[in-house]
Amino acid sequence: MTKMSRKAQKQYSFRSIKGGKQARDGGRDGGYGAGAADADWDPMAETIDRNRDQSYVKSVKPRTEGQKELMDSILEHAMTLAIGPAGTGKTYLAISAAVEALEAERIDRIILSRPAMEAGESIGFLPGDMHEKMAPYLRPLYDALGDRLGGKRVRQYMDDGTIEIAPIGFMRGRTLNNAFIVVDEAQNCTFQQLKMLLSRLGWNSTMVITGDPEQSDLLPGLSGLSQVSDKLARCSNVGIVKLQACDIVRHPLVAEMLAVL
């Protein structure tokens, strides 16, 4: 057998690497859009991706009918409330839609907001500026952005203001035009806070509010998410998507546990 030339070896190696990367990207999430839910997806067969920054997720598609309904609602409405238990992909799909709108130049910036609430324990005063103080609370949003854009681009967009962190306490008085606003963990907002946030919506903007009323860290009766969603159900131009335990795409045990807890 003749030995392969150096040039041929390089070409073969490049094709192998490229093909392997495409297989990882394509096999992980498929194509984004209003496609059918992935009925064959098995969370037990998912592999851990340890190279997200080098091989970020380029496209997303719904894995359940509830997720498909949520993605369609985000495309069709300027405001969508995504309500459901943990693990249903509320935050991830909202961030994915925001990134797609930014990449398509339909908006100029992404604005992320989330209540600064500890989950049952206090971590004390945090050092640093506003972004550093908010970073622990926004970690799930950063993870989703990193999957979709890669860490380097996320940092670049943060530096130039394309991605903005907007604490809920600083949102009053603003009008958010040409933006995609994601308000996460809204079950930790009071009715008055949510009413103020909803009225920030400006021209050519989309707002997605996500939360699970069953996991509020506020005192009983203070969370306004359920009350807001009930009132907005009368508005035909507001999308309200209520995800169920069957839409959970984490470990199958998560859905089983939440059903009895």
Instruction: Look over the chain and give the mean of its residue pLDDT values, rounded to a whole number.
Output: 79
Q: Which pLDDT value is given to residue 258?
A: 79
Confidence band (pLDDT; 50, 70, 90) for 32? Answer: very low
- Top pLDDT among 46 and 131 is at 131
Tell me whether residue 2 is in a domain: no
Tell me whether residue 21 is in a domain: no
State which residues form the domain around 158. 57-260
Alpha-carbon gap, residue 90 to 86, rounded angstroms: 8
92-99: average pLDDT = 94
Q: Are 206 and 107 in contact (CB under 8 A)?
A: yes
- Split into its structural domains, the chain has a count of 1
180 sits in which H/E element: strand 179-183
Q: Are 258 and 248 in contact (CB under 8 A)?
A: yes
Q: What sign has the CA pseudo-torsion 118, 192, 208, 142?
A: negative
Tell me whether residue 169 is in a domain: yes
Two tokens, residue 65: 């009918």
pLDDT at 248 over 80: yes
Q: Which pLDDT value is given to residue 42?
A: 47
Q: Are 34 and 72 in contact (CB under 8 A)?
A: yes
Tell me whether residue 38 is in a domain: no
- Name the DSSP letter for residue 63: S
φ, ψ for residue 201, nearest 5 deg: -60, 125
Tell me whether residue 120 is in a domain: yes
pLDDT digits (tens, 9 = 90+) for 151-182: 899 999 999 999 998 888 788 889 999 999 99
pLDDT digits (tens, 9 = 90+) for 9-19: 444 444 444 44
Q: Which pLDDT value is given to residue 119?
A: 46
* Amino acid letter, 214: E
pLDDT at 50 over 70: no
Alpha-carbon gap, residue 60 to 188, rounded angstroms: 28
- CATH at residue 228: 3.40.50.300
Tell me whether residue 30 is in a domain: no
Tell me whether residue 34 is in a domain: no
Two tokens, residue 21: 């990367």
| Contacting residues for 221 by C-beta, under 8 A, at least 6 apart | none
pLDDT digits (tens, 9 = 90+) for 191-240: 999 999 999 999 999 999 999 998 888 888 899 999 999 999 999 999 99
Tell me whether residue 168 is in a domain: yes
pLDDT at 27 over 80: no
Q: Which pLDDT value is given to residue 170?
A: 83
- Name the DSSP letter for residue 220: T
The residue with tokens 């991605």 is: 163
Distance of CA 193 to the CA centre of its chain: 21
